[in-house]
Amino acid sequence: MPSYAYFHKQFVPLSEAKIGVMTNAFHYGTAIFEGIRGNWNSEQKQIYLFRLKEHYERLHNGCRILKIALPYTIDELCQITVKLVEMCRFEEDIYVRPLAYKSAERLGVRLHDVEDDFLAFVIPWGPYLDVDKARCGISSWRRPEETPRAKITGLYINNALAKSEAIENGFDEAIMFTSDGHVSEGSGENIFLVTDGKLVTPASYDSFLMGITRDTVIKLAQKELGIETIERQIDRSELYIAEECFFTGTAAHITPIAEIDHRKIGNGEIGEITKRLQQLYSEVIRGNNPKYLDWCTPAYKR
């Protein structure tokens, strides 16, 4: 099935969306990206885009940080995305990748006086970590101390180093620490622990990306399971003795963590609270829970 891209203000086949070798963002990491899930509801034969508006709010904020003058409102970005997904006609879970980038074909490290552009494309994408439960290693690569609160492409280098280090050491994913040695996040996910029956997750000062799935889980845990989330600094050894542990992310959904640094978390199986949250989340993102339909934007329908 051919895919399409929104590129240079037009919808084109994905294979025709190409950028030049001198593009500023390619050299200096000067782009803001998003990852948005389209979840296929096989009974309704429909794709629902999850928390579309919130993803574009985060993109808009990132653009302010990188001095990118995005010529679209959040509503317009949502409309472009729905149209793109409708054109692609995928009947499976998909991933939308919007990118606002410094498009000038001109070298020089700076943000000012460099033209920018916006693109988006869609690909079919199933589970990100591709394991039922992840085995993780603490990374020797840390999150940079002063991390701008945005999905800036250039910021992902330590995450890529951490991920490859973890895979080469036989793990499924890395857990990264802050520069002062506290738990921060996975290479592409936020992290939660279950301790004394409550959720615990790093607090905003722990230099992670403020995840939309993180927010979803905090809200669902509170409203549907009556479980409170404590946002605070987390030490390394707390990970090892947690009752349960899991990652959250648009791509990774809720992925249980079975093992950290060769130590089993709980009994090494998927914990009860993690399981309940996974079930709830899966129902909500596919438009199967009427209470949360506001979070689901209908897109392609067969």
Ligand X SMILES: Cc1ncc(COP(=O)(O)O)c(C=O)c1O
Active-site residue numbers? Answer: 151
Binder among 85, 212, 221, 285 for ligand X (CB under 6 A): 212
Q: What is the total residue count of the chain?
A: 302
CB of 169 to ligand X, least distance (A): 19
Q: For residues 282 and 175, what is the distance between their CA atoms, to the nearest angstrom?
A: 24
Q: For residues 192 and 256, what is the distance between their CA atoms, to the nearest angstrom?
A: 10
- Cα torsion for 87, 91, 95, 96, to the nearest 10°? 10
Taking the least distance from each CB to ligand X, the nearer of 149 and 276 is: 149
End-to-end CA distance of the chain: 15
Specify whether the CB–CB gap between 286 and 280 falls below 8 A: no
Q: Is 35 in the site for ligand X (CB under 6 A)?
A: yes
* Candidate ranges 41-49, 125-133, 162-170, 209-217; the one touching ligand X (CB under 6 A): 209-217
From residue 57 to residue 96, the character string flagging contacts with ligand X as x (rule: CB under 6 A) and all else as - is ----------------------------------------
For residue 5, give the H/E element and its range: strand 4-7
CB of 105 to ligand X, least distance (A): 28
CB of 184 to ligand X, least distance (A): 9
Q: Is 190 in the site for ligand X (CB under 6 A)?
A: yes
Residue 249, phi then psi, degrees to nearest 5: -175, 155
Q: Is 214 in the site for ligand X (CB under 6 A)?
A: yes
Applying CB under 6 A, what is the total number of residues that bind ligand X?
Answer: 15
For residue 253, give the H/E element and its range: strand 253-260
Q: Is 148 in the site for ligand X (CB under 6 A)?
A: no
- Which residue matches tokens 């050491």? 169
Q: Is 213 in the site for ligand X (CB under 6 A)?
A: yes
CB of 242 to ligand X, least distance (A): 19
Indicate the residue whose CB is closest to ligand X: 211
Q: Is 211 in the site for ligand X (CB under 6 A)?
A: yes
Q: Is 124 in the site for ligand X (CB under 6 A)?
A: no
From residue 150 to residue 169, the character string flagging contacts with ligand X as x (rule: CB under 6 A) and all else as - is ---------x----------
> Which residues does 123 contact at the CB level (< 8 Å), separation at least 6?
3, 94, 95, 97
- Classify residue 155 by burial, with Cβ atoms within 10 Å: 0-12, 13-18, 19+: middle
252 residue type, one letter: A
Residues engaged in binding ligand X (CB under 6 A): 35, 159, 185, 188-190, 208-209, 211-214, 248-250
